[in-house]
Structure 1
Amino acid sequence: MELIDIGANLGHESFDADLDAVLQRAVLAGVTRLVVTGASRAGAVRALELAKAHPGLLWATAGIHPHHATECTAEGIAELRALQAEPEVVAAGECGLDYHRDFSPRPAQRSAFERQLELAAETKLPLFLHQRDAHGDFMAIMKAFEGQLGPVVVHCFTGTRAECFDYLDQDWHIGITGWLCDERRGQHLREFVKDIPADRLMVETDAPYLLPRTVKPMPSHRRNEPMYLAHIIEELARDRGEDVSVTAAATTATAAAFFGLPPAR
């Protein structure tokens, strides 16, 4: 089984002490390629550093998450432009809107999202997007850039069936995480993931967050890591009524095509 984790926050401090071991466990679990999420100015620089240090295994995104919207200054956009020109950077983002936590004022979030979409319209890089509890504004802003952007994935999808199909109607992609495995919050996803076309479906851990609650035995440290992508694939395959090898092959092919990744080493 060969898997691609399209979103892992490997620059997080929880991986500082044992990243090599984390990557080794991932490869042994079938994760042959990973995209490291860059979600702030410093985080995007770190993601690129990791990708350069692990060629053929890691790639990076470069963006400013809505939680860090105030970083999206003229200087910040210039920095993102330079980062996104690097060959190891395969997507713009993580960017978007998050009205669930409102760690940044909503006007600042919208402005930062629009400025990053303007840059993406120049670069035509794939877009790695975040949306939580902001569907209406998210769709309105994206509508203003219709026909100007490269391929889109709404990562770590947690929304409703209607939201999912709003995205699919735009030919966007959907990223599924261990949220699927959370009986408290993700049960609704199990009811419609089978309806997502295989060529629009990708998988991710969002590590170190969202450790699948169905992992047994549950690790004491509670840190998610890319090796658990194999567990997510098993759960997703079951919900889609597919053999796990079919789901793995399809999501891997879709991710490789979306990000333009070369074959695994």
Structure 2
Amino acid sequence: MIVPATQEIDVSDTSPGIADSANPLPDTLRFKAAAPLVDIGANLTHDSFRRDVQAVIERARDAGVGTLIVTGTDLEHAHQALELAARHRGLHATAGVHPHEASQWSATPAQEFAALYREPGIVAVGECGLDFNRNFSSPADQERAFEAQLGLAVEAGLPLFIHERDAGPRMLEMLRSWRDDIADAVIHCFTGERKTLHGYLDLDLHIGLTGWLCDERRGHHLRELLADIPLNRLMVETDCPYLLPRNLPAKAPGRRHEPALLPWIVGEIAHWRGDGEGDICRATTATARRFFRLEDN
């Protein structure tokens, strides 16, 4: 989860606008993926989804996004994500402590998370990591909580769903020391520069891309990096309700991002890579299913 300082989610806006009441998305935002997609980062426990999460999931399925990884950013939201996954086909959950909340880390949540990682609905440890952009928790607290979650991931044998913003050098240092032990890791919502990207790829990590690359103010540099990411290391995500693509052909109700819009991001990736949308869909889906061990589900 990355909360842009300039983006607000209007949780009260559920009016249908120019669309029908069953589907508030206007026709120009009713996308259909060229092949089935996995959204590896959906914050469906956010309050903005409280009243219509079932409809959001159905719209995602209609758009070809039938598998959703629901992000757990603290203990409360991890339990909520797990409950959603238990109720809805195609949903799975992660569980961790976001770096913004790292100051709350202690032995008690560590024990509770260790128990959560034995639940079959949990497919990754995280969202965890480092965020030196906003420092809602001190860097020292962030590193302490992240180190602890790296250890829990090793014990559980689960992959990591990692948040990193403006902390690439330190993140690389920490991951290098753990790489032989951790099962695997994805840098969710990658926003960094070429040197950092290549550092992650050199560690055989995965890269998650969002609508950040659709943001002309700060994300266009990612377009030049797309060709550097092997397709078997690339996954796609909305990070909804955040990071609504700024170049959508119409306004999204309430300025809220949702999984049904993921095909637009895939189209942008395909365009700037020079690949077919179907190729990106099939490759990222195969990678995500393998990474989260969903092949048999």
Q: Name the TM tier (shorter chain).
A: over 0.9
Q: Percent identity?
A: 51
The aligned length equals 263
Q: Deviations over 1:172-207 (max 9, x none)?
A: 000000001111111000011122101000000000
| Pair 1:167 & 2:210 matched | no
Q: Deviations over 1:10-54 (max 9, x none)?
A: 000100000011011100110010000001111111111111111
1:143 Cα offset (Å): 2.0
| Pair 1:138 & 2:171 matched | yes
Match of 1:256 in 2: 289
For the aligned residues, what is the CA RMSD?
1.0
Q: Deviations over 1:76-104 (max 9, x none)?
A: 11111111110010000110000101000
Q: Is the 8 A contact 1:94 1:128 kept in 2?
A: yes
Q: Please state whether the residue corresponding to 2:84 is helix, strand or coil.
A: helix
**C-alpha separation between the residues in 1 aligned to 2:266 and 2:137?**
33
Match of 2:112 in 1: 79
Q: Deviations over 1:88-137 (max 9, x none)?
A: 10000110000101000111111000011111111120110011111121
Match of 1:11 in 2: 45
Q: Deviations over 1:223-257 (max 9, x none)?
A: 00000101000000001101110111100000000
Match of 1:94 in 2: 127
Match of 1:214 in 2: 247
Tell me which structure has the larger Cα radius of gyration. 2
**C-alpha separation between the residues in 2 aligned to 1:144 and 1:248?**
33
The aligned runs of 1:60-75 (5 Å cut-off) are: 60-75=93-108
1:220 Cα offset (Å): 4.1
The aligned runs of 1:164-243 (5 Å cut-off) are: 164-243=197-276
**C-alpha separation between the residues in 1 aligned to 2:295 and 2:90?**
10
Q: Please state whether the residue corresponding to 1:208 is helix, strand or coil.
A: coil
Q: Please state whether the residue corresponding to 2:152 is helix, strand or coil.
A: helix
1:144 Cα offset (Å): 2.2
Q: Is the 8 A contact 1:40 1:71 kept in 2?
A: no
| Pair 1:36 & 2:106 matched | no
Match of 2:5 in 1: none
TM-score by length of 1: 0.97
Match of 2:29 in 1: none
Match of 2:184 in 1: 151
Amino acid of the structure 2 residue aligned with 1:53: R
Pick one of 53, 58, 62 that aligns with 1:24. Answer: 58
Amino acid of the structure 1 residue aligned with 2:251: M
Pick one of 81, 85, 89 that aligns with 1:51. Answer: 85
Q: Is the 8 A contact 1:95 1:130 kept in 2?
A: yes
Match of 1:119 in 2: 152
1:263 Cα offset (Å): 5.9
**C-alpha separation between the residues in 2 aligned to 1:262 and 1:34?**
14
**C-alpha separation between the residues in 1 aligned to 2:136 and 2:62?**
37
Q: Please state whether the residue corresponding to 1:221 is helix, strand or coil.
A: helix
1:71 Cα offset (Å): 2.4
